[in-house]
Amino acid sequence: MTAADPVVRVAEAPRLLVALDFDGTLAPLVDEPMSARATPEAAAAITALAAAPGTTVAFVSGRTIADLRVIAEHDDASPVWLAGSHGAEHWRPAGAPPVDAGDADGGGGDPDVLAADAEAIVEGCAGAWIERKAFGFALHTRQADEAAEREAQRRVDALMAERAPEWRRRTGKRVVEYAWRHEGKDTAIADLRAATAADAVLFAGDDVTDEDALRSLAPGDLGIRVGPGETAADITVSDTRELSVLLDRIARIRAD
């Protein structure tokens, strides 16, 4: 191993922030969102990294903090920091710097009413369903065929264009999210970097929304794409297993 190796370079940073998407990155994608769990190899690598000197581990997810804590099997004793709802929600261990609560305004359009109306208009689109979130809702179409997916997206897009055009629209793998808060994973990384005084950041993700964070990384950081797709990442790994091996390697370097 040499200093030219980007993995070694980031692993040798005095203070390292390891920020990771969860679904599709640490856990396989599943049809039932709340059944997602990190693979044993990923969980072991996270435990090792969190125990390494000068290292902060954070999960940066589109999930709400409440749901992220369930699927990550995360409790108040955990050292892992959380940024949920694409950075609009945060959980930090005791003693960590506090977080600005952000704008509490609904951003135009009642979120509960809009989510209910979205539920009603996708009822006829088999396999499509609405997940209510802290700052809006998501349209899931992983179980829908292509025609139903297109029709569900058309209907919900039309609803939002008419009733809440200022909401942020994000696309992912067979999911479209609509939110009145405009934070992204790029702002989540910036907040985490500042709060941890990190000398370098490693971020890994698998989806379109992760590209915001990957594009925001600075020289000396390391961006990792999990799986295929156009990306701003420095390196690509094939799957969660390969990422787990890489994370374990970094934990071992930092423990030496």
For 168-223, write each residue's pLDDT tens digit.
999 988 999 999 988 899 999 999 999 999 999 999 999 998 999 999 999 999 99
pLDDT at 144 over 80: yes
Q: What's the confidence (pLDDT) of residue 34?
A: 95
Using a pLDDT cut of 70, give the percent of the chain over it.
95
CA distance 166 to 45: 40
Q: What's the confidence (pLDDT) of residue 235?
A: 97
Regarding pTM above 0.75, the answer is yes
- Torsion of Cα atoms, 50 then 51 then 53 then 54, to 10°: 20
CA distance 83 to 60: 5
- Per-domain residue ranges of the chain: 6-95+183-255, 111-179
> What are the tokens at 233?
């990442």
Closest CA to 153 of 134, 129, 189: 129
Alpha helices, H only, the chain: 6-11, 40-51, 65-71, 111-121, 146-163, 185-196, 210-216, 240-255
Q: What's the confidence (pLDDT) of residue 1?
A: 41
Range from 3-17, 143-157, 222-236 carrying the lowest mean pLDDT: 3-17
CA distance 190 to 213: 9
Do residues 15 and 196 touch, judged by C-beta distance below 8 A? Answer: yes
Helix (H, G, I), strand (E, B) or coil at 219: coil
For the chain, the C-alpha Rg in angstroms (whole number) is 18
Q: What's the confidence (pLDDT) of residue 31?
A: 86
pLDDT at 125 over 70: yes
> What are the tokens at 150?
């297109």
CA distance 55 to 15: 6
**Which secondary structure element, helix H or strand E, spans residue 19, and what is its range?**
strand 16-20
Q: Read off the pLDDT of each residue in 141-154 and give the average, rounded to a whole number.
A: 96
pLDDT at 17 over 60: yes
Q: Read off the pLDDT of each residue in 250-254 and give the average, rounded to a whole number.
A: 97
User: Which is higher by pLDDT, 134 or 126?
Assistant: 126
CA distance 147 to 176: 16
pLDDT at 52 over 70: yes
What residue type is 108 in one-letter code?
Answer: G
CA distance 169 to 256: 44
Q: What's the confidence (pLDDT) of residue 212?
A: 93
Give, in degrees to the nearest 5, the angle at Cα 219 between 213 and 222: 55
Do residues 84 and 91 touch, judged by C-beta distance below 8 A? Answer: yes
User: Which is higher by pLDDT, 33 or 3?
Assistant: 33
Q: Read off the pLDDT of each residue in 74-79 and give the average, rounded to a whole number.
A: 97
> What are the tokens at 13?
């940073």
> Around Cβ 116, how many Cβ atoms within 10 Å?
13
Q: Read off the pLDDT of each residue in 7-33 and give the average, rounded to a whole number.
A: 96
pLDDT at 104 over 70: no
> What are the tokens at 130?
């609405």
CATH for 6-95+183-255 is 3.40.50.1000
